[in-house]
Amino acid sequence: MREVNCPYCTSRASKYGKTKAGSQRWRCSCCGNTFTEKIDATAKNLKIFLNWLFGKGVQTDMPGNGRTFRRKVAKFWTLWPLPPKMEKTYDVLYLDGIYLSRKLCVLICSSDEVVLGWYVCRYEHSKAWMALMKRIAAPRVVISDGGSGFTKALRTVWPHTSHQRCLFHVFAQVRRYTTRFPKTLAGQELYSLAKDLFTVKDMDAAYVWIDALLAWRQRHDSFLQEMTVDEMGNKHSTHERLLKAEASLWRLVRNNTVFTYLEFVDITVSPYNNRLEGGVNAQLRAMLRNHRGLPLERRLKAVYWWCYMHSHRQLSVPELLRCMPTDETIASIYKRLNSKYQVDA
C-alpha cells in the first residue's frame, strides 16, 4: 500500500473516503487533519514547454487550440534562466555573439560539449565581453571572430589566454573588400592568398604564407600607391579597399592571432569557430525561425532557455522556480535602485 504523509505534521495518513469530485481524501491519525493530495505537474509542463520550444510544432495543433498549453506554460515565460559561475578550467573555449535585433545581442561562451555562459547587451563591446568572461575560468586558448571590444576584454580579464581568430571570418573579411571576382590582378592574388589560409597545417607553411603576403606587397607596391583626386581637389588612395584588406591581414599577423592553433602540441585547437556558429548559433536561429512572430522579449528568453538546457549544470524544476529571477523580481529591483539613485529636482 502506498504511504501518504500529512502535509502539516508529516505523520502517516490513512484513506478517509472521497470528495464530491471523486478525489481520494486522506486523514492524519496524529493531528486529525483531512486533505487531498495535490499533483505537481510542473516538471511535466516544463518538458512540454521545452519540447515545443525546441521543436517545430505550432500551438494550434495542441489540445484546446493552444489555450491549455499557454495556460500551463505561462510561468516559464516569466523566468530568466541564468548561467552558473564556472570554476572548471577548459583548454579551449569559443566566444561569439548572436543578434536578435538591431540593438539586442546575446554573447555566448561554449566549450566543445556544453554552453558555459551567456550575457545580453545592446551590441558587442568590451564591458559586455568582460561581464561574460568574469564568470568563467580563463582557458588556455579562446577562439572568436574578433567582435568589437573583444581584444580589450581579453587583455583585461584573461591576460594569459592565447587568442585564435576564426580563419573563415578572416577570409570573409578579405572577400568583403576584394569581392568574389576581383577585377585587378592584385585583387585576384590577394583573394587567392586569403583562401590559402585554409591549407596552412604547420608553422613552416605559415611562414611561407607570410612571405607570400610580403612578396605580394612588393610586387604591387607602385600599383597600390596610386592616388585619385576627387571633385573637391582632395587626394585619396585609388585602391583603398585592397589596402584595407591587406592591413587586416597584417594586423592579425602582428598580433599573433591567425596561426595560434599551430603553436600547441599537447591539445587540439581548431582554427574555426564552428562550435558556436554551427553548433549553437545555427540551432538558435532555427529555433527562432520555427517560432517566428514571438515578441522580442520572448525571443530573448527562448535563447536563454536553449543555452540553459545545454549547459553542464541544471537545477531541478523546484529549485529552478525558486532560484531563477522572474520579471516581477527584476522589475522590483529596478524600481528600488531607480528610487535610490533618483535625484530630487
Per-residue pLDDT tens digits for 238-273? 999 999 999 999 999 999 999 999 999 899 999 999
- Note whether residue 32 is domain-resident: yes
- Note whether residue 14 is domain-resident: yes
- Note whether residue 12 is domain-resident: yes
pLDDT classification of 22: cutoffs 50, 70, 90: confident
The strand pairing partners of 101, in sequence order, are 104
Residue 170 has pLDDT above 60, yes or no: yes
**Range of lowest pLDDT (30-34, 175-179, 220-224):** 30-34
- Note whether residue 23 is domain-resident: yes
Cα distance between residue 56 and residue 167, in whole Å:
33
- Note whether residue 102 is domain-resident: no
- Note whether residue 9 is domain-resident: yes
Model pLDDT, residue 334: 79
- Note whether residue 322 is domain-resident: no
pLDDT classification of 337: cutoffs 50, 70, 90: confident
Residue 345 has pLDDT above 70, yes or no: no
- Do residues 16 and 26 touch, judged by C-beta distance below 8 A? yes
Residue 2 has pLDDT above 80, yes or no: no
Per-residue pLDDT tens digits for 56-77? 988 888 777 888 889 989 999 9
* Total number of residues shown for the chain: 345
Q: In what order do the strands lie in the sheet with 92-101?
A: 115-121, 104-110, 92-101, 141-144, 162-165
Domain containing 23: what range? Answer: 4-36
Q: Which residues, including other chains, have CB under 8 Å from residue 5's CB and lie 6 or more apart?
A: 11, 12, 13
Gap between the terminal Cα atoms of the chain: 70
Number of domain units in the chain: 1
- Note whether residue 297 is domain-resident: no
Residue 302 has pLDDT above 50, yes or no: yes
